[in-house]
Structure 1
Amino acid sequence: MTAPRPTGVPILRLGDVLVTGLLNELDDTSALAFTAELTERIAADGARGVLIDISRLEIIDSFVARTLTELTTMARLLGARVIVAGMRPAVAITLVELGLRLTGVETALNAEQGLTALGWQRMPHPPGPPGEGRP
């Protein structure tokens, strides 16, 4: 089996959560490559959660919507929970008007809420001035 072709979409690891974002609209080929790359990373990294930030997207076509639904199902089969964060109101309205359903896809208002839902939390800084071993 060959490795998926890199899509240029960054996939970062924060503990056992993978974080990625769709910065531009994906054509069909890129959407399929992104799905293959992300599922490969879920399996390789043993991720238990995935956050996909779509806040930069102004439009999602039916193929990308279906791809997100399928990606969520694949991730679940691999033991990971997926949350799509940052959907713009116009995108949500368009999906509903077109009759497209993101069945099984969990959403969050923004990336921070999505990460919190996945159980990832920032460590609070202790009080006091920076320095002395503190950032």
Structure 2
Amino acid sequence: MPVLVMGETLLVTLQGELHDGTAEQLQQDISHRIAGSGANGVIIDISGVETVDSFLGRILAEIAASAGLLAARTVLVGMRPAVAITLVELGLTLPGLATALDIDRALELLARTSTPSAPDGHERAT
């Protein structure tokens, strides 16, 4: 999966299923790119993902945690309603991930210096 650089933000677009080896490589790639580029934000676009299982949910949370340790915020975009329902049914809260409807709104969210959180602690750009 390519990790694109957009100014101080990394953009990752997930397509199809993410297998174990690919997911681990993606985590490493993102961490190395943050450290090497000084990026302060990561946008993960999951609009090309049909289903999110507990494995992918855990990977997304781990990517956000790693990015956070490197002083970068992670925003998840492109979530389909069926995927959101599945995440709720699985009980996955995806800590450390902010959400936005699309890439433009994610960029706006990352550009803000301080963003109020929703009552559940997750940030949202609508």
TM range (shorter): 0.7 to 0.9
Is residue 107 from structure 1 mapped to residue 99 from structure 2 by the alignment? yes
Three-state SS of the structure 2 residue aligned to 1:54 is strand
Residue in 2 aligned with 1:68?
60
Aligned to 1:97: 89
CA contact (8 A) 1:28 1:64 kept: no
Task: Tell whether 2:76 aligns with 1:84.
Answer: yes
Q: 2:41 aligns with which of 40, 45, 49?
A: 49
SS in structure 2 opposite 1:55?
strand
Post-superposition shift, 1:117? 1.0
Q: 2:59 is matched by which residue type in structure 1?
A: T
Higher helix share: 2
Unmatched runs of 5 consecutive residues or more in structure 1: 1-8, 121-135
Identity over aligned pairs, percent? 48
> Of 110, 113, 125, which residue of structure 2 is paired with 1:118?
110
Give every structure 1 segment of 4 or more consecutive aligned residues whose post-TM-superposition deviation is greater than 4 Å.
Answer: none
CA positional deviation for 1:51: 0.6
> How many corresponding residue pairs?
112
Which blocks of at least 5 consecutive residues in structure 2 are unaligned?
Answer: 113-126
Q: Aligned to 2:58, what secondary structure does the other structure show? A: helix
- In the alignment, what sits opposite 1:17? 9
Find the partner of 2:26 among 31, 34, 39. Answer: 34
Structure 1-normalised TM-score?
0.79
Greater strand share, structure number: 2
> What is the TM-score when the length of structure 2 is the normalising length?
0.84
Per-residue CA deviation, residues 45-79 of structure 1 (Å, 9 max, x unaligned), is 11011111111111011111011111101101101
CA contact under 8 A between 2:41 and 2:72: conserved in structure 1?
yes
